[in-house]
Structures are given as C-alpha cells and as structure tokens.
C-alpha cells in the first residue's frame, strides 16, 4: 500500500506532468482562463487518462509483447486513446444527452493532449503492473487537473489586476507559470517515481 | 467586468449559440465554436472543429419566450454548480468506483487479470449510477442552459483580433 501512495505522490506532485515533464502544455495555456472550464477539462482528462492507462497496459501485456510487436507501440497507443475518447463521448451521450450537451466540448480536445499519450508510454518504460499503471495514470491526471485549476484561479485574479501593457496577456501568464513551476520544485526529492 | 448570475444570484458559465429552429414553444440552438478555436493551428484536426456534424450533435433546446428568430446569435448560461455536478457525475463517479473495485480485488486476489475484470465491473456500475443521477438532475432542469441575452455584434473576433 505504501508503494502505491508513494507512486501517486510522485506522479501528482514530484514529477508533475505539466510543470516537470512539460506535457499537455497546450491545454494548460488554452483552457485555464476560467476555473469552471479548467475543472471540467481536468475531470475529463482524468477519466480518459486513467482508462487509457488501463487499456494500454492490457494491450502491451497481452498483444504487443507476446507477439513481438512492440515497434507498433506508439501508433497503437494513439489509436487506443482516440478510441477511448470517442467511446467516452458515445457513452456520455447515451447515458445522458443533457450531460453530453454540457460537457461534450471537452472530450475531443483531449485527443490532442500529449500527456494522454506520454503517461501510457511512461508506464511501459517503468514496467508497471496493472494496479501501478492505473494509479500512475490517475495520479498524473490529478496532478494535471490540480495545475489547471490553480493556474486558472491565478489567471482569473490576473484578469482583474493592473498589469503593465507590455506584460498583459500571454507574457504575464508565462511568468506566472514559471513561478508555479519553481514552487513545485519544492516537492523534489519526496519520491522518485 | 460583471459576472453573469441567475435569478437566485448564483454565477453562470456563459456560452454563445445560434438559433436553428423554433419548435412548439421551444428554441433549438447550436453552439458557436469559439473564435479562439478558429485561430488554432490544429483547427483542421481538432474534434471541436470537426464540421457541422459535430455541432449538430451538440444542439440543445431552451424554452421560447424572448421573441427569438432563426439565425439570431444569443448568449446562454449554465450554473457553475451544474457544470461541476455534471463533470462529477460523468467522470468522477465511474472512475472512483473503478478504482475502488480494482483496489479491493488487488487486496483480495492480487492477480492482474482478476483486478482488471473488477475494474471493468466498477466502471460499468459507476456509469449506471451516473445515468440514474443525471436523469434526476435533468428532470429538475438543472442541466438546461438559460437564455441571457443577444450576443454582441463585435463578438465574432476574439480579444486579440485572431480568428475573424
């Protein structure tokens, strides 16, 4: 159990997917203008990333490795992630059309989020078993969502602040992101996973 | 900057839509893809910009009562709490049940195959629960956007003049 906790802390905080691994930066800058949209996107990404981690583990373990097809890993994972996103969209639409209308816009955006491909590849590289793959995907996505929400909160406050014209817009957002990354360096050394 | 609020004083998340049809006391609306999307270099590949089929799938209805006409561009709002509740229902509940089921299976049997099967079972159970809760929310009208007013004329371009 302790191993799982360390794995999750390492994935969410120490090796944060956005601020340390520099994955998913497009969504990080693009969907963080409001806390609500950042939360919606974060939850959608958490769902897709966790399910993708599980499916790619199964694919790697039962199909690619036994048949010596590991050279197809990247292209296979991309296809699986796209399929998971489409599947999630279909399921949400089926189980509740009202939910689909409310949240459907976020789902296709996730296919272009490189962290959703990066985490399953890291799972393979670190030889995780089923449980470790799932928790690593879940914790990485939680770390991603945390950064999205924190950064959205900061940007909401920045929108009301008096920023010098030269720094207004993206420049002050990048400076804020770099300060956030510096703050997260404080977690270095807690866990190496 | 004034944050939009509903009659009960709760803050709303705004969106833009176009009136597609008027049907027996209801207005059929289609979301307008944000100009930010148009300016994106991946616009041609992105699902959010995947043409009329994608937008047609996202059409929704609101009660008529504001004299809207076909082609009008309007601003609609959804309660912040409704958006969070919907996200929680659609993603968090199935995911948490999947995690709980697989952790229990891992503790009991410790075999990857059994754990994976239990994870699928937990995910399915979570989706059934979500469906039941979402139906209740929908019946109470919590997931229906409300009309806030006409969209401003200069709303076509974003703040930086991109994507016009």
pLDDT at A92 over 70: yes
Kindly determine whether residue B137 and residue A93, on different chains, have CB atoms separated by under 8 Å.
no
pLDDT reported for residue B125 = 92
Q: Is residue B18 part of a domain?
A: yes
CA separation, residue A21 to residues A18, A45, A139 (Å): 6, 17, 14
Q: Is residue A89 part of a domain?
A: yes
DSSP category for residue B147: E
Whole-angstrom Cα distance, residue B77 to residue A34? 14
Interface mutation target, options B12, B47, B158, chain A, most CBs of A under 10 Å: B47
How many CA within 13 A on the CB side of residue B3?
13
Q: What is the pLDDT of residues A53-62, one digit of tens each?
A: 999 999 999 9
Q: Is residue B48 part of a domain?
A: yes
pLDDT at B1 over 70: no
Kindly determine whether residue B116 and residue A130, on different chains, have CB atoms separated by under 8 Å.
yes
pLDDT at A171 over 50: yes
B104 to chain A: closest CA residue? A131
* Structural domain count of chain A: 1
Domain that holds residue A69: 17-187
| Angle, vertex CA B138, rays to CA B135 and CA B139, nearest 5 | 85
pLDDT reported for residue B118 = 92
Identify which of B46, B94, B130 has the shortest CB distance to residue A112.
B46
pLDDT at A156 over 70: yes
Angle between helix axes A73-95 and B112-139 (nearest 10 degrees) is: 30
Q: Is residue A91 part of a domain?
A: yes
Which DSSP string corresponds to B12-38?
EEEEEEEEEEEETTEEEEEEPPPHHHH
Q: Is residue A129 part of a domain?
A: yes
Q: What is the pLDDT of residues B18-72, one digit of tens each?
A: 888 888 778 888 777 654 555 555 555 555 554 445 666 667 777 776 778 888 8
Number of inter-chain CB pairs under 8 A, A vs B = 121
Q: Which residues of A touch B127 (CB under 8 A)?
A: 91, 95
Domain that holds residue B87: 12-155
Q: Is residue B67 part of a domain?
A: yes
Q: Which residues of A touch B99 (CB under 8 A)?
A: 50, 134-135, 138
* Helix, strand, coil distribution of chain A in percent, nearest 5: 80, 0, 20
Q: What are phi and psi of A20, to 5 degrees?
A: -110, -45
Residue A28: pLDDT band with limits 50, 70, 90: confident
Q: Is residue A136 part of a domain?
A: yes
pLDDT at B78 over 60: yes
Q: Is residue B130 part of a domain?
A: yes
Q: Is residue A76 part of a domain?
A: yes
CA separation, residue B134 to residues A92, A178, B54 (Å): 10, 39, 22
Which segment of A90-94, A172-176, B14-18, B154-158 scores lowest on mean pLDDT?
Answer: B154-158
Q: Is residue B52 part of a domain?
A: yes
Q: Which residues of A touch B (CB under 8 A)?
A: 30, 34, 36-37, 39-40, 43-44, 46-47, 50-51, 54, 58, 61, 85, 91-93, 95-96, 98-105, 107-109, 111-112, 129-131, 134-135, 138, 159-160, 169
Residue (of B30, B25, B32, B29) closest to B66 by Cα position: B25
Q: What are phi and psi of B62, to 5 degrees?
A: -130, 155
pLDDT reported for residue B99 = 92
Residue A134: pLDDT band with limits 50, 70, 90: very high
Whole-angstrom Cα distance, residue B17 to residue B59? 9
Q: Is ipTM > 0.85 here? A: no
Mean pLDDT, chain A, integer? 84
pLDDT reported for residue B62 = 78
* B61 vs B74 pLDDT, higher one: B74
* Structural domain count of chain B: 1
pLDDT at A138 over 60: yes
pLDDT reported for residue B86 = 79
- Residues B54, A108 contacting (CB under 8 angstroms): yes
pLDDT at B164 over 80: no
Kindly determine whether residue B87 and residue A43, on different chains, have CB atoms separated by under 8 Å.
yes
CA separation, residue A131 to residues A9, A64, A144, B22, B131 (Å): 15, 19, 20, 51, 27
pLDDT at A141 over 60: yes
Q: Is residue A5 part of a domain?
A: no
Identify which of B57, B60, B134 has the shortest CB distance to residue A95.
B134
Which segment of A85-89, A142-146, B31-35 scores lowest on mean pLDDT?
Answer: B31-35
Q: Is residue A56 part of a domain?
A: yes
Q: What is the pLDDT of residues B104-144, one digit of tens each?
A: 998 898 888 888 899 999 999 998 888 888 888 777 777 77
Q: Is residue A11 part of a domain?
A: no
């Amino acid at each position: 159990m302790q191993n799982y906790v360390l794995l999750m802390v390492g994935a969410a905080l120490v090796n944060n997917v956005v601020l340390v691994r520099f994955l998913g930066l497009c969504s990080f800058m693009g969907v963080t203008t409001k806390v609500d949209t950042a939360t919606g996107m974060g939850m959608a990404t958490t769902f897709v990333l966790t399910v993708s981690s599980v499916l790619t583990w199964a694919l790697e373990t039962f199909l690619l490795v036994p048949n010596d097809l590991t050279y197809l890993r990247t292209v296979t994972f991309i296809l699986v992630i796209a399929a998971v996103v489409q599947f999630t969209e279909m399921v949400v639409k089926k189980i509740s059309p009202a939910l689909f209308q409310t949240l459907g816009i976020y789902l296709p955006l996730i296919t272009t989020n490189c962290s959703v491909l990066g985490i399953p590849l890291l799972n393979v590289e670190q030889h995780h078993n089923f449980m470790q793959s799932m928790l690593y995907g879940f914790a990485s996505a939680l770390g991603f969502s945390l950064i999205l929400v924190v950064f959205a909160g900061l940007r909401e406050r920045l929108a009301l602040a008096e920023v010098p014209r030269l720094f207004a817009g993206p420049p002050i957002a990048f400076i804020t992101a770099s300060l956030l990354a510096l703050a997260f360096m404080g977690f270095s050394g807690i866990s190496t996973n | 900057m004034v944050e939009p609020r509903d009659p009960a004083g709760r803050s709303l998340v705004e969106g833009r839509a176009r009136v597609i049809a008027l049907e027996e006391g209801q207005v059929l609306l289609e979301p307008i893809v944000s100009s930010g999307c148009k300016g994106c270099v991946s616009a041609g590949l992105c699902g959010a910009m995947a043409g009329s089929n994608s937008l047609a799938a996202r059409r929704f209805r609101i009660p008529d009562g504001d004299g809207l006409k076909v082609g009008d561009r309007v601003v609609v709002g959804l309660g912040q709490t409704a958006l969070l509740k919907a996200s929680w229902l659609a993603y968090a509940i199935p995911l948490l049940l999947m995690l709980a089921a697989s952790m229990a299976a891992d503790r009991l049997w410790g075999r990857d195959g059994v754990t994976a099967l239990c994870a699928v079972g937990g995910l399915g159970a979570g989706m059934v629960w979500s469906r039941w809760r979402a139906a209740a929310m929908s019946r109470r009208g919590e997931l229906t956007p409300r009309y806030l007013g006409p969209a401003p004329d200069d709303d076509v371009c974003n703040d930086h003049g991109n994507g016009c």
